Amino acid sequence: MRLLIRVVETLLAGAGGGAIAYFGVEALTGDTGVAAAIAVPAVLNGGFGGARRIYAWKTIGGWGAFILDSSWALVSTTVGVAVNLVNLVRRGSGFAPEFSVRQNRHVFAVGFALKRGFANTQGPVISNATCGRGDPIANHRNLIERHEGLHVWQQRWFGPIHPLVYVLWGLFGAVVGVVYGALSRKRRVHKVRIGKLVETAAYYDNPFEYWAYRNDGRWEANNAHPALKWGSFKWEKT
């Protein structure tokens, strides 16, 4: 019976997500072909969500998460589907039901990561939540709940604006880091890698990351360089 219920939830969530995406895009563009193509990741996301029982259907937040994932946040959801597929075929990704079931997100202990030692959140998917440390995922509850969990909702709230900010801020930050590093005499004296300055300006200073690091209480303790870190700028004291 439990298996049957899960199969039904998988089918209904997949169909529901696809319908939300299809009719939304069709209403905006009038193009059924485009709508059908864009609905594919919504179907897959709904299917994954139903199979793993992540959406809290008994709450307003659960329905809101599902609708946003299938519409306004579909750009990020699509990337999340790709991460889900990678983790599906990757051995030892470690899906964590205790952090996922009815909590409106997929959490993997290991899995895909953009950078070694960092968790990665795309759409409703939190991957590499243990940051590659090999310890129990329960040790990373604060990171999951307050940092990566916030990223999940940032993507739902801000929709396509969220990835656009990451791309533009990343490019701008890279330029700032390189120019500052090239012109700074103190950087050469202290032998600071330009890459560290680029990482600080392009990643840590991103407003979405600043918000998340503040939310989990790790802004002061993160690895951003004080020369370009928001609220620090202590280069003269280093």
C-alpha span between 47 and 231 (Å, rounded): 43
Instruction: Please give the pLDDT value at position 233.
Output: 57
Instruction: Please give the pLDDT value at position 120.
Output: 97
Phi then psi dihedrals of residue 122, to 5 deg:
-130, 115
Where in 176-216 does DSSP place strands (E)? Answer: none
Beta-strand relationship, 125-127 and 106-107: parallel
The predicted-structure confidence for 146-195, as pLDDT tens digits, reads as follows: 999 999 999 999 999 999 999 999 999 999 999 998 887 777 656 788 89
Mean local confidence (pLDDT), 138-143: 97
Instruction: Please give the pLDDT value at position 91.
Output: 85
Q: Where are the domains of the chain?
A: 2-159, 162-237
Q: Percent of the chain at pLDDT above 90?
A: 86
Q: How confident is the model at residue 236 (pLDDT cuts 50, 70, 90)?
A: very low
Give residue 227's identity as a one-letter amino acid code. A
186 against 223, higher pLDDT: 223
User: Considering the entire predicted model, what is its pTM?
Assistant: 0.94
237 against 150, higher pLDDT: 150
The pair of three-digit structure tokens given for residue 90, joined into one six-digit string: 């990757």
